[in-house]
């Protein structure tokens, strides 16, 4: 898809309250372009509650319902059921939640809504932390990353939410990243035209949370993919396809960059490099990533 | 009109289905289960045409009702005890969002230890969430109150969620006859749901974003005004339903033989029903005592209780306790009397954990209060 083919509608208005360099607004803008004005969005507690701006103002040009932290998927289930009763099948119902609201507190409601085959799109913008509350660890935070609750670095590896979603065998699931606008738009557009539950996760590199310069947001997303710390894929009716560089890495057509190439720009990992290199943890990160891709190759080798 | 001989749960389900909600979202919990099972049977028979979402928790049940209501549909759910407590956050949410969800709650004990019998601590502990709360004393009253609850919740002067409470087993699982009106009667009475606000692609609003101190208080104040409006509308709607169906169970309170009474008993729920027999017995013995059965605890009928305090001393039975304080009805009734009445108020805490409270027990409590041998508030039948 060329830039000139992007939908022209802007449902995210100018003058919102996001931080400079915010990846969530990049993602939202693309997502809303793809979804269009016939969309109702359900948003739990997350940065977007701030991006919406203060009552009585709003930065959204579609109807939005804010709901409690753990309740996005359940709230969206209700909206979807009501619209179906009213015969409004022309309206897309989307939940838009952060990784805390998805991986952690909201996973029960999400799993329930997927299992019930709710006709909606659940979108997780994953900045790998509780950023709205001031950078605390979540289930999506990578190993060794500093957060305000993992002061010397997180001791555990992140959970593979994508694979938890795949276990629900929904019609469409995908991972993407704000650094690849065509990928975001094409996956959201595809999801919009599929009946049943859809899950799309968007990696969202957060400058204040990851401690990098606000002009590097897009670059941080690309390096995450190049290093295999993040992957682009989609799974349609249980058929898995890796996309872009992730496909080349999976098929061993290129070698992934060391994850170090990604994390060295991020202040949240600075304790791995200063005052001296923490070889043990740096090796653990590369080993984990190698094992992850080996497992991907075993489970998801595409025909 | 037909007679339905069935349990409180099944009669409550019948009323809910006849009110034609577009979305029901529910999660099973004893002793509410037979109510949601009954709704599932209506779905299976094609008699209920709405969406029935079998969610994975009560928190999601209320969240789904909130979503559906915000999208402009009439909604219903039912729960009990721990289920109600799990909903707590979303009970506040529904009320603050001004969504007229109607819910039956089967009053059941809170654990640990596990106990499925009746007491009212579950719903009493939710009294500050902004929901209007009814307490029923018969299966007919359950039917009639559920119908009235939709009318009340959706009234433009209210737009608040309504909880209809019925005591576990004593009502939920006990068969009693109830007169079921024609569908047309219910349709005419409840009317078509006209949402006060909704998520609408033609009028996109952002609902529930960040709201500063300069605006937030207005939300609370409007809720308080709506609850005050309910004090007028509950009696009005009860009167209108009497006209439509012939049935009337009282306004905010049901007064039973209060004329000339020097003592008035305040009680709720199934104890409220049992109290009538105790009053009959005592009046037969020449005692000037009447009953004011509290049907609604939110809005709290303070003016009505003050009026009673001008006529008689009050005896108050609570099937709940606010630990560290006292029975909630006792506490709030005294607050209503404060500075306005010389009436003596004597309180009893009875029937916790499902302990049976018979009319003889009620009579014993009343006699104790009347002969002055009772403490200001004491535990009855649970002294050991």
**Residue among B54, B67, B73 whose CB faces A42 most closely:** B67
Sequence-separated (6 or more) residues with CB below 8 Å from residue A18? A24, A25, A47, A50, A51
What number is the average pLDDT over the span B321-326?
97
Residue B328 CA, chain-centre distance (Å), reads: 14
Cα–Cα distance between A29 and B352 in angstroms, integer?
56
A107 to chain B, any CB pair closer than 8 A? The answer is no
Distance separating alpha carbons of residues A150 and B338, to the nearest angstrom:
54
Indicate whether B300 and B205 sit together in one domain.
no
Instruction: Report the CATH number at residue B45.
Output: 3.40.50.970
Q: Please give, rounded to a whole number of angstroms, the shortest distance from the CA of B9 to a CA of chain A.
A: 24
Confidence of residue A7 (pLDDT cuts 50, 70, 90): confident
Residue among B176, B175, B168, B173 nearest B354 (CA): B168
A76 close contact with B: CB closer than 8 A: yes
Evaluate whether residue B384 is within a structural domain: no
Average pLDDT over residues B78-89: 98
The arithmetic mean of pLDDT across residues A85-104, rounded, is 98
The whole-number pLDDT of residue B35 equals: 98
ipTM of this complex: 0.97
Predicted confidence at residue B345, as pLDDT, reads 97
Residue for token digits 């959706």?
Answer: B154
* Tokens standing for residue B277: 């027999």
Residue from the list B57, B71, B205 with its beta carbon closest to the beta carbon of A83: B71
- Min Cα–Cα distance to chain B from A63, Å: 4
Q: What is the mean pLDDT of chain B?
A: 97
> Are residues B368 and B325 located together in one domain of the fold?
yes
Q: Please confirm whether the linkage preceding A100 is cis (ω < 30° from 0).
A: no
Is residue B281 included in any domain, yes or no?
A: yes
What are the angstrom distances between the C-alpha of A49 and each of A132, A133, B63?
9, 11, 18
Chain B hits for A79, CB-CB cut-off 8 Å, are 67-68, 70-71, 199
Nearest CA distance, A251 vs chain B (angstrom): 39
In whole angstroms, give the CA distance from residue B317 to residue B275.
10
Domain count of the fold of chain B: 2
User: HSE-up of A173 (CA within 13 Å, CB side)?
Assistant: 17
**pLDDT at B192 > cutoff 80:** yes
Clarify whether residues B136 and B37 are in a common domain. Answer: yes
pLDDT per position as a tens digit, B265-278 = 999 999 999 999 99
Average pLDDT over residues A234-241: 96
- Are residues B210 and A79, on separate chains, in Cβ contact within 8 Å? no
pLDDT of res. A302: 56
Q: Which residue has the higher pLDDT, A301 or B204?
A: B204
| Whether residues B23 and B102 fall in one domain | yes
Residue-level pLDDT at A6: 86
A48 in reach of chain B (CB within 8 A): no
* B279 in the same domain as B238: no
Question: How would CATH label the architecture of A8-300?
Answer: 3-Layer(aba) Sandwich (3.40)
Domain boundary among B245, B274, B307: B245
Please give the C-alpha separations between residue B132 and each of B128, B161, B300, in angstroms, as whole numbers.
10, 6, 9
Give how far B146 is from chain A: nearest CA, Å: 21
Neighbours of B152 (CB within 10 A): 25
Whether B205 and B258 map to the same domain: the answer is: no
Residue A250, helix vs strand vs coil: helix
pLDDT tens digit string along A192-222?
A: 999 999 999 999 999 999 999 999 999 999 9
Domain shared by B168 and B274, yes or no: no
Residues of B with CB under 8 A from a CB of A: 22-23, 25, 50-51, 53-57, 59-61, 63-73, 75, 89-90, 93, 199-201, 203-212, 215
Question: Same structural domain for residues B17 and B134?
Answer: yes
In total, the C-beta contacts within 8 angstroms joining chain A to chain B are 162
- Centroid of chain to Cα A120: 16
pLDDT for residue A53 is more than 60: yes
A75 at the B interface (CB within 8 A)? yes
- Does residue B260 share a domain with residue B224? no
The confidence score (pLDDT) of residue B329 equals 98
The Cα–Cα gap between A32 and B47 comes to 39
Q: Is A303 a residue whose pLDDT tops 60?
A: no
Burial of B324 (0-12, 13-18, 19+ CB in 10 A): exposed
| In-domain check, residue B342 | yes
A106 CB neighbour count, 10 Å cutoff = 29
In the listed set B198, B220, B245, which residue is the last one of a domain according to the structure?
A: B245
What pLDDT, on a 0 to 100 scale, did the predictor assign at position A132? Answer: 95
Using DSSP's 3-state secondary structure scheme, residue A29 falls into: helix
- Residue A155: which residues within 8 A CB-CB, separation 6 or more? A143
A52 interaction partners in chain B (CB closer than 8 Å): 206, 209-210
Domain that holds residue B339: 254-379
Residues of B within 8 A of A63 (CB-CB) are: 199-201, 203-207
Residues B113 and B137 in one domain: yes
pLDDT exceeds cutoff 70 at B177: yes
**Nearest-CA residue of chain A relative to B64?**
A78
Which of B216, B245, B274 is the C-terminal boundary of a domain? Answer: B245
H or E segment to which residue B367 belongs: helix B359-370
pLDDT of residue A15: 86
Q: What is the CATH number of the domain that holds B324?
A: 3.40.50.920
The pLDDT > 70 percentage for chain B reads: 100
* Residue B14, domain member (yes or no): yes
What secondary structure letter does DSSP report for A157?
P
Best to test chain B binding among A74, A90, A112, A120 (most B CBs inside 10 Å): A74
């Amino acid at each position: 898809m060329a830039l000139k083919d992007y939908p022209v509608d802007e449902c995210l208005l100018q003058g919102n309250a996001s931080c400079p360099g915010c990846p969530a607004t990049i993602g939202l803008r693309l997502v809303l372009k793809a979804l269009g004005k016939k969309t109702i969005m359900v948003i739990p507690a997350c940065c977007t509650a701030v991006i919406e701006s203060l009552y009585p103002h709003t930065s959204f040009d579609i109807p939005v319902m804010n709901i409690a932290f753990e309740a996005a998927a359940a709230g969206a289930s209700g909206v979807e059921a009501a619209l179906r009763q009213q015969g409004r099948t022309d309206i897309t119902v989307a939940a838009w939640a952060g990784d805390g609201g998805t991986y952690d507190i909201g996973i029960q409601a999400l799993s329930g809504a997927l299992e019930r085959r709710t006709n909606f799109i659940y979108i997780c913008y994953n900045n790998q932390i509780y950023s709205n509350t001031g950078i605390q660890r979540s289930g999506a935070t990578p190993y060794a990353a500093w957060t305000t609750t993992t002061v010397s670095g997180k001791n555990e590896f992140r959970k593979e939410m994508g694979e938890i979603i795949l276990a629900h065998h929904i019609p469409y699931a995908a991972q993407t990243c704000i650094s690849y606008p065509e990928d975001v738009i094409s996956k959201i557009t595809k999801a919009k035209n599929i009946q049943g539950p859809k899950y799309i996760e968007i990696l969202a590199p957060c400058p204040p949370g990851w401690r990098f310069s606000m002009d590097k947001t897009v670059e941080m997303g690309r390096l995450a993919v190049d290093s295999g710390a993040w992957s682009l894929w989609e799974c349609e009716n249980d058929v898995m396809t890796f996309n872009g560089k992730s496909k080349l890495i999976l098929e061993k057509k290129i070698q992934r960059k060391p994850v170090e190439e990604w994390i060295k720009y991020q202040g949240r990992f600075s304790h791995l490099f200063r005052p001296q290199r923490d070889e043990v943890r740096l090796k653990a990160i590369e080993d984990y990533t190698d094992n992850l891709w080996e497992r991907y190759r075993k489970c998801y080798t595409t025909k | 009109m037909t007679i339905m001989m069935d349990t409180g749960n099944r009669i409550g389900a019948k009323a809910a289905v006849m009110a034609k909600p577009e979305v029901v979202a529910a999660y099973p919990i004893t002793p509410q289960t037979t109510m949601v099972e009954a709704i599932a049977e209506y779905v299976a028979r094609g008699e209920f045409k709405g969406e029935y979402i079998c969610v994975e928790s009560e928190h999601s049940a209320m969240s789904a009702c909130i979503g559906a209501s915000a999208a402009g549909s009439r909604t219903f759910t039912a729960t009990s005890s721990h289920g109600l407590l799990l909903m707590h956050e979303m009970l506040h949410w529904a009320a603050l969002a001004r969504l007229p969800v109607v819910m039956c709650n089967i009053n059941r004990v809170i654990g640990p230890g596990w106990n499925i019998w009746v007491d009212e601590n579950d719903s009493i502990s939710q009294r500050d969430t902004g929901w209007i709360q009814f307490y029923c004393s018969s299966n007919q009253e359950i039917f009639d109150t559920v119908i009235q609850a939709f009318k009340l919740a959706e009234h433009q002067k209210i737009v608040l969620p309504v909880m209809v409470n019925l005591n576990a087993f004593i009502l939920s699982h006990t068969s009693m006859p109830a007169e079921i009106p024609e569908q047309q009667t219910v349709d005419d009475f409840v009317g078509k749901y006209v949402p006060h606000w909704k998520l609408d692609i033609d009028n996109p609003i952002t609902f529930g974003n960040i709201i500063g101190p300069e605006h937030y208080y207005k939300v609370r104040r409007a809720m308080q005004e709506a609850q005050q409006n309910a004090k007028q509308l509950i009696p009005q709607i009860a009167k209108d339903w009497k006209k439509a169906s012939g049935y009337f169970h009282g306004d905010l309170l049901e007064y039973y033989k209060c004329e000339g009474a020097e003592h008035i008993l305040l009680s709720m729920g199934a104890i409220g029903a049992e109290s009538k027999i105790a009053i009959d017995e005592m009046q037969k013995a020449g005692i000037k005592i009447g009953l004011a059965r509290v049907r609604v605890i939110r809005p709290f009928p303070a003016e009505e209780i003050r009026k009673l305090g001008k006529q008689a001393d009050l005896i108050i039975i609570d099937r709940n306790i606010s630990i560290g304080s006292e029975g909630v009805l006792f506490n709030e009734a005294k607050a209503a009397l404060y500075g306005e009445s010389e009436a003596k108020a004597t309180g009893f805490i009875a029937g916790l954990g499902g302990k049976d409270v018979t009319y003889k027990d009620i009579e014993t409590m009343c006699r104790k209060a009347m002969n002055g041998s009772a403490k200001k508030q004491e535990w009855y039948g649970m002294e050991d």
